[in-house]
Chains A and B, each alone.
Chain A
């Protein structure tokens, strides 16, 4: 077989596995206990590896908040000194099979959900979504943020734990893939719009939360929290995307992208046939629409593990499924279709299970192929929230961002080296 044929075969395998992988929510627990490799005095974060010195505002804010939350520091100043002295290990989420939106900081005592793929045996983890506004993942770390995180640990997590234990007993776990597929037919794209998905999720867990026999006021607070945060499902969707992409990772010869992620300073990718090698480049600043009082000048470079949704073939790649998101990111329906059409040019195939009703039920573009990205000159495009570059301010808008071409060039050169192409 020629090299090109080997690659086609490998890509076919990788993407098939990505489509056939399952995603069941099976557990929730503290990061230190649940995530293999998670140590004390460690904080994980979104994107490729980064040092405190190079970290941008929102990430620094989240790290400071996490340090105070864990009791490693009593004030922001103390926290900063801690990081400057290198006393906390910083590790990318992806290196522990975890994902987190925006700054994506996970600390040892934070509750994380466990998503399992029974078909290919992979596990992925994510934290719980705090809601919108002043939140840790956008770099805010004042008392309200930390109090909310403590409440999530003390009330939300135990409630969800009892519920998921019931679900696992009854049916093995909560089928997240099915929620995503349905939500895509209901106007969500499951990266920036989760209205339907969150509704479906709450629909599913309601019964078990009631069975959990929680004190009524706790139950009501838990319900209210989830219902008032349309992004509740985001972290579940991301963990599901992570197990899908894990299924397609480490396939010899494959040129399919299995991780795309940003830390606010750099953006990085992994390629299936090149294992856990990071290829990085400066993260671009997203372009979009801004909330009143903010502008492009205030924006932080792209940040978050949520690009895992596009890597798995939904999110921004299903933009045409979510007309509501399009106006939110300043575009038009035609523009969304244009982008989705472009993404078809750089992916391996159309998803077998995730369909876009308004494109006559075509499957979403899945399996970014680095060769096609280079050949067409089309960079993968995603929707994203935009953070203020100063820590503590929060989200200031939403828009569209591309993953830079340079990453794919680096990856191809490495590929040539690894696979002996002269």
Chain B
């Protein structure tokens, strides 16, 4: 046996190794650490160093036993050094490294434990998204406003006085405050909070209604009409206490934005004085076409040529496309509209499966605007209509946990969400309520919304599948479940898949919330066909 002379240098030799350099290839050091770790896990790999070509790393390279001749590498170049037991292992490791470099391993996080440090290290913040408990928002908001940072305040339960103070200061500092209670903001395709992945385009939306914004932006995007900005202003801004100041500022922003060609304003009905204020502002300052949708509002004739009024989100979508182009309008009608006759036929078909005692609708919604829109439609079609978030002409459901007659429930209401995640994230409460409602002999139709997008549960339909299956297979008499899915094909939860899943469970899926509500109403209504057509023309057609 040949004896090796003891060497003074500690040198580890690898049977197979490679040292490669990617010039000018910079990557974050934490990412590189993770990649090195992953590559070391490849079977047969003895050592791996994937790091930037700093002097220290070059030393480390030598220390780890990778010899190289005049390695021409600067700190801006990436070194990939791998030592393995076999040629195959080496090849696998190199492939793994290449793949991970391209795809990245997990995410790098930039994380701060306190706001002051975060701000001092990041001087160029465009916008801050705040989702801390309402009573603490003011201090954080003021600090950010004073630095000229625009705000998206997702938090609700911010005391009214705090909201007033925040918005006053924001006006002084020329800063936009979206919220409090704004679920959704879209900025040039980037979604903050609960938002869908939509195309970027020329429609700018101001919305005091999160899911309203989601519905309109999603449905427009799916027919190729993009959104420039979706500015959620939260539910309180249109109350007299606040006076719509940020709604108006948001409209001003869009009017002055070169990329925005068409505006939309979506809101539940503002307080009277505020409504006048907002409309006054619009008539005097907005020259671009604007579609105003006060959900549940009174009929209005437009006083100016560029101002249009709609009463449902559904109509808003159709109207926007009409203003943009005839082609888009036709496309929207094909995709999102069912004719009155079609709906009557469908309703008749479904009615046949019901037993005599079944006569009520139960709506279980995660989106407040969908509750709103549903009530706007159903109050024309049924009597005995209740909700825990009632509008004019609808009775208040005294106990939100116990439905009565026709009940449309807003599960995002505080009474359900205190100390719990929002139902768009956590389906537990709705799944249980669904099973409960399906047990009643007098319930005919159950209405639901499924909201996709960032922030939402990663498989909303899947989360309800067992419950729905149980209901459909139950011998307790047929329940008609009607749903609509709010989302886009780019959302993390593929909209087509969600729709298919629902259909395969026997759920009737409508393209818009308004159509779902209208269909439900048709099934249980006792109004005359003329009245029904009248409602259709007023709230569904444009």
The answer to whether A and B touch directly, with their CB atoms under 8 angstroms apart, is yes
- Using a CB–CB cutoff of 8 Å, the interface residues on chain A facing chain B are 185-186, 323, 333-334, 337-338, 341-342, 344-345, 357-361, 376, 378
15 A-B pairs with C-beta separation under 8 A = A323-B37, A337-B30, A338-B111, A341-B111, A341-B112, A345-B117, A357-B29, A357-B56, A357-B57, A358-B30, A358-B32, A359-B29, A359-B30, A361-B54, A376-B114
User: Using a CB-CB cutoff of 8 Å, which residues 12-37 of chain B contact chain A?
Assistant: 28-30, 32-34, 37
Which of A186, A341, A358, A376 is close to B33, meaning CB atoms less than 8 Å apart? Answer: A358
**B60 in the interface (beta carbon within 8 A):** yes
Q: CA of A345 to CA of B32 in the docked complex: distance in angstroms?
A: 25
Check B2 for interface membership: any CB of A closer than 8 A.
Answer: no
B residues in contact with A359, CB < 8 Å: 29-30
B113 close to A (CB within 8 Å) = yes
Min CB distance B360 to A, Å, is: 51
Q: Are B60 and A341 in contact (CB under 8 A)?
A: no
Q: Does B109 contact A (CB under 8 A)?
A: yes
Q: Is the CB of B34 within 8 A of A333?
A: yes
Contacts of A357 in B (CB 8 A): 29, 56-57
Interface pairs A-B: 6 shortest CB-CB: A358-B33, A342-B113, A360-B29, A345-B113, A358-B29, A376-B114
Q: Inside 8 A of B60's CB, which chain A residues have their CB?
A: 185-186
A358 and B57 alpha carbons, distance in the complex (Å): 11
Task: Count A-B contacts at CB 8 Å.
Answer: 39
Contact B56 A185 (CB under 8 A): yes
Least distance between A341 CB and chain B CB atoms (Å): 6
| Contact mask for chain B residues 81-114; partner A; CB cutoff 8 A; 1 contact, 0 none | 0000000000000000000000000000101111
Contact check, A376 vs B29: say whether CB atoms are below 8 A apart.
no
Chain A residues with CB below 8 A from B30, complex form: 333, 337, 358-359
With A334-B109, A345-B113, A357-B57 already in contact, 8 other A-B pairs whose C-beta atoms are closer than 8 Å: A185-B56, A337-B30, A337-B109, A341-B111, A360-B29, A361-B54, A376-B114, A378-B113
A357 to B49, CA, bound (A): 13
User: Are B114 and A345 in contact, CB atoms less than 8 angstroms apart?
Assistant: yes
Contact of A341 with B29 at beta-carbon distance under 8 Å, contacts A185-B56, A333-B34, A357-B56 already known: no
* CB-defined contacts of B113 to chain A, threshold 8 Å: 341-342, 345, 376, 378
Q: Give CA–CA (A337, B30) in the complex, Å.
A: 9
Q: Report how far A338 CA is from B111 CA in the complex, Å.
A: 7
In the assembled complex, the Cα of A185 lies from the Cα of B60 at a distance in Å of 9
| A contact residues around B117 at 8 Å (CB) | 344-345
- Complex contacts, B29 vs chain A, CB 8 Å: 357-360
The CA of A334 and the CA of B31, in the complex, are separated in Å by: 11
The residue on A at minimum CB distance from B117 is A345
Report the bound CA distance from A341 to B121 in whole Å. 13
Which residues of B lie under 8 Å from residue A337 when comparing CB positions? 30, 109, 111
Instruction: Tell me the smallest distance from the CB of B206 to a CB of chain A, in Å.
Output: 38
Distance A376 CA – B117 CA, assembled complex (angstroms): 11
CB distance from B113 to the nearest CB of A (A): 5
Q: Are A323 and B33 in contact (CB under 8 A)?
A: yes
Report the separation of the CA atoms of residues A358 and B109 in the bound assembly, to the nearest whole angstrom.
Answer: 14
**A residues in contact with B54, CB < 8 Å:** 361
Cα distance, A344 to B112, chains bound together (Å): 10
Residue of B at shortest CB range from A376? B114
Chain A residues near B56: list those with CB within 8 A.
185, 357, 361
| Residues of B contacting A376 in the complex (Cβ-Cβ under 8 angstroms) | 113-114
Q: How far is the CA of A186 from the CA of B61 in the complex (A)?
A: 12
Query: Per-position contact with A for B45-70: 1 when CB-CB < 8 Å, else 0?
Result: 00000000010110010000000000
Q: In chain B, residues 99-142, which have Cβ atoms closer than 8 Å to a Cβ of chain A? A: 109, 111-114, 117
Please give, as numbers and ranges, the residues of chain B lying within 8 Å of A342 by CB-CB distance. Answer: 113
- Give, as a whole number of angstroms, the nearest-CB distance from B105 to chain A: 10
Q: How far is the CB of B121 from chain A (nearest CB, A)?
A: 10
For A338, what are the chain B residues with a Cβ–Cβ distance below 8 Å? 111
Residue of B nearest to A199 (CB): B10
| B residues less than 8 Å from A360 (CB atoms) | 28-29
Chain B, residue nearest A342 (CB)? B113
- Which residues of chain A have C-beta atoms less than 8 A from B33's C-beta? 323, 333, 358
